[in-house]
């Protein structure tokens, strides 16, 4: 007789993934269960290497977890100590341009929610549209425009995750943004804020598309983050997001754009980026 294949619903898949991660952490009970997570975008993954006494889990070992294929994304979950704070850090994410759906790309947020994560910091490499942002600037996302032609909540709603129509009025937590601006000033640099436009990629935008995005109010452009934000808010996880302006968008300057430059600028701002996360995360954790 052929074996019967039982298709698990998304909630059960997320439960299994969360259970596997928590079982891996059981080997180091002093770590405890993280309440805060960070997703590290292109060229920004080094932060996770500084976490102490860490447990490192390749995405391939986590049931149902999407596997990252993008250059500059290590593809593993690292849970360790930042001072006295236990942090879960994703070294890389998946994108729709890799062939994943918006639902699949945001599945890690489902897993985090079932692990007990209460706050997430999302980071990405972005193209700068606003001329006030120079290459290498760190920019808080204050709002977004979803132009990826997809929403991860399309389809039947599972009330165990959240409501059918989640509010997105304050998708990016205002209090967290104030904390980040204050800490950046204390560290000696200005942290800008701006609106992030999400497109599908993987081709970079044309100059005409960038003119359009500027007209509709975008300051930054990228190929990620927004599905994760939508799902995090659906589950009641509070969100802060930081873009690193790794290149000026097409037509803003005469330069062409290549991914190696994106990764190199990420490496150049490593110190500033890590210092900001080190300052911000404990303050966010105080309010969880």
Tell me, yes or no, if 204 is annotated catalytic.
Answer: no
Alpha-carbon torsion (56, 60, 61, 64), positive or negative? positive
Tell me, yes or no, if 173 is annotated catalytic.
Answer: no
From the candidates 37, 70, 73, 232, give the one annotated as an active-site residue.
Answer: 73
Tell me, yes or no, if 223 is annotated catalytic.
Answer: yes
How many alpha carbons lie under 13 Å from residue 74 in its C-beta half-sphere? Answer: 18
What pairing do the DSSP bridges indicate for beta strands 36-40 and 119-128? parallel
From the candidates 18, 37, 89, 125, give the one annotated as an active-site residue.
Answer: 125
Tell me, yes or no, if 203 is annotated catalytic.
Answer: no
Contact 187, 279 (CB under 8 A): yes
From the candidates 18, 37, 42, 124, give the one annotated as an active-site residue.
Answer: 42
Tell me, yes or no, if 42 is annotated catalytic.
Answer: yes
From the candidates 11, 97, 168, 212, give the one annotated as an active-site residue.
Answer: 97
From the candidates 109, 197, 223, 235, give the one annotated as an active-site residue.
Answer: 223
From the candidates 15, 98, 183, 205, give the one annotated as an active-site residue.
Answer: 98
Tell me, yes or no, if 224 is annotated catalytic.
Answer: yes
Please report, to the nearest 10 degrees, the dihedral formed by the alpha carbons of residues 39, 172, 269, 200 taken in order. 70
From the candidates 142, 259, 278, 279, give the one annotated as an active-site residue.
Answer: 259
Tell me, yes or no, if 59 is annotated catalytic.
Answer: no
> Which string of DSSP letters, residue by residue, matches 22-76?
HHHHTTSGGG---SEEEEE-TT-GGGGGG-EEEEEEEGGGSTTPPPP-STT---E
Tell me, yes or no, if 98 is annotated catalytic.
Answer: yes
Tell me, yes or no, if 30 is annotated catalytic.
Answer: no
From the candidates 247, 248, 249, 281, give the one annotated as an active-site residue.
Answer: 247
From the candidates 224, 232, 235, 250, give the one annotated as an active-site residue.
Answer: 224
Q: Exposed/middle/buried for 185, CB within 10 Å: 0-12, 13-18, 19+?
A: exposed
From the candidates 54, 68, 95, 126, give the one annotated as an active-site residue.
Answer: 95
Catalytic residues: 42, 73, 95, 97-98, 125, 223-224, 247, 259
């Amino acid at each position: 007789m052929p074996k019967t294949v039982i298709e698990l619903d998304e909630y059960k898949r997320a439960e299994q993934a969360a259970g596997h991660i928590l079982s891996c952490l059981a080997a180091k009970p002093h770590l405890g269960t993280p309440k805060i997570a960070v997703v590290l975008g292109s060229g920004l993954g080094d932060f996770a290497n500084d976490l102490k006494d860490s447990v490192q889990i390749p995405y391939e070992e986590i049931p149902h977890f999407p596997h990252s294929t993008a250059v500059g994304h290590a593809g593993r979950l690292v849970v360790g100590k930042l001072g006295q704070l236990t942090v879960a850090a994703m070294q890389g994410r998946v994108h729709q341009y890799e062939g994943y759906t918006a639902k699949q790309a945001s599945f890690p947020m489902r897993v985090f929610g079932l692990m007990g994560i209460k706050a997430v910091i999302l980071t990405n490499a972005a193209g700068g549209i606003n001329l006030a942002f120079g290459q290498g600037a760190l920019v808080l996302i204050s709002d977004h425009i979803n132009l990826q032609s997809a929403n991860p909540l399309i389809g039947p709603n599972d009330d165990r995750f959240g409501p059918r129509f989640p509010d997105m009025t304050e998708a990016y937590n205002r209090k967290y943004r104030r904390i980040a601006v204050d800490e950046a000033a204390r560290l000696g640099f200005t942290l800008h804020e701006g609106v992030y436009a999400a497109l599908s990629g993987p081709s970079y935008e044309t100059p005409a598309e960038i003119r359009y995005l500027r007209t509709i109010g975008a300051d930054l452009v990228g190929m990620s983050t927004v599905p994760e934000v939508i799902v995090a808010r659906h589950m009641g996880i509070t969100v802060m997001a930081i873009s690193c302006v790794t290149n000026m968008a097409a037509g803003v300057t005469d330069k062409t754009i290549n991914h190696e430059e994106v990764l190199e600028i990420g490496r150049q701002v490593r110190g500033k980026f890590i210092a900001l996360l080190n300052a911000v995360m404990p303050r966010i954790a105080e309010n969880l």
